[in-house]
Amino acid sequence: MLPVGRGGSFLAPRPAFFPTERILIAPPSMLYLFDIDGTLVDTGGAGMMALQEATREVFGHEGPALDLAGSTDLGIIANIHAHFEIEPTPERIAAYFEAYQGRLDWNLANGNFPGRVYTGVLEVLNELSKRPHATLGLLTGNTAGGAASKMRHFGLAVFFPFGAYGCDHADRNRLGPIALERAAAHAGKNFTPQETLVIGDTPKDIACAHAIGAKCLAVSTGQFTAAALEAHGADHVVESLDEALAWI
């Protein structure tokens, strides 16, 4: 027997104002730009160790203390060169990146660092990948090679067909426009700031999102607390990415 609605008949007549023609509304396109370290993965020190080893290999000495949070690799090696009072020529930068890449790959493969993918990352990436109007990319301070190694090592490479990297520019705020250009080339359409969300774990990710007029979803899995990220103007803060599914 058919259930009977509250009004009496199950097949109640349509109200006069109900549109008879179907209205098709395309879901909005969205571009999601993810940071890597502290946001997607923790390399367990493999990345920091690779920088320290590359510095010893290239300069023959211990380098300065490094502030990696949200920094670009080009910015980091400019600081290392400044510490040794050596001009960072393109040749020296290339040689440093080569040393770093070799150390990073070895550390990830053999170094026994306690790396991990953060809670909720796979759930969010799988969910976004199912959405036909979602485009995913990287916006990271890592070099392109470093980013590729980390994403391959942790099984996430499949989610990220393009990115803007720390070898593209030393200033993270200049990486947003590069990411938008590459997203457009990849997806065949331009994304507006309203259609772009940056996901990261540091104040530098927030600044970099706002520099292109985009919002930033900040996650407190890295070095910064939720309160600190809020104080730096994050548009939404979560403690792990699984809490973000409803919001994105």
Point out which residues bind Mg ion (CB under 5 A).
Answer: 35, 37-38, 201
- Nearest distance from C-beta of residue 69 to Mg ion, angstroms: 6
- Nearest distance from C-beta of residue 194 to Mg ion, angstroms: 24
Reference 179, options 219, 135, 130, 218; nearest CA is 135
- Nearest distance from C-beta of residue 47 to Mg ion, angstroms: 11
Choose between 43 and 55: whose C-beta lies nearer to Mg ion: 43
Choose between 37 and 73: whose C-beta lies nearer to Mg ion: 37
Give residues with Cβ within 8 angstroms of 227, minimum separation 6.
Answer: none
- Nearest distance from C-beta of residue 36 to Mg ion, angstroms: 6
Choose between 58 and 147: whose C-beta lies nearer to Mg ion: 147
Angle at the Cα of 197 (from 147 to 182), degrees rounded to 5?
55
Choose between 195 and 205: whose C-beta lies nearer to Mg ion: 205
Choose between 31 and 40: whose C-beta lies nearer to Mg ion: 40
Choose between 41 and 99: whose C-beta lies nearer to Mg ion: 41
- Nearest distance from C-beta of residue 125 to Mg ion, angstroms: 16
Q: For the chain, report the end-to-end CA distance as a whole number of angstroms.
A: 41
- Nearest distance from C-beta of residue 237 to Mg ion, angstroms: 14
- d(CA 164, CA 181) in angstroms, rounded, equals 9
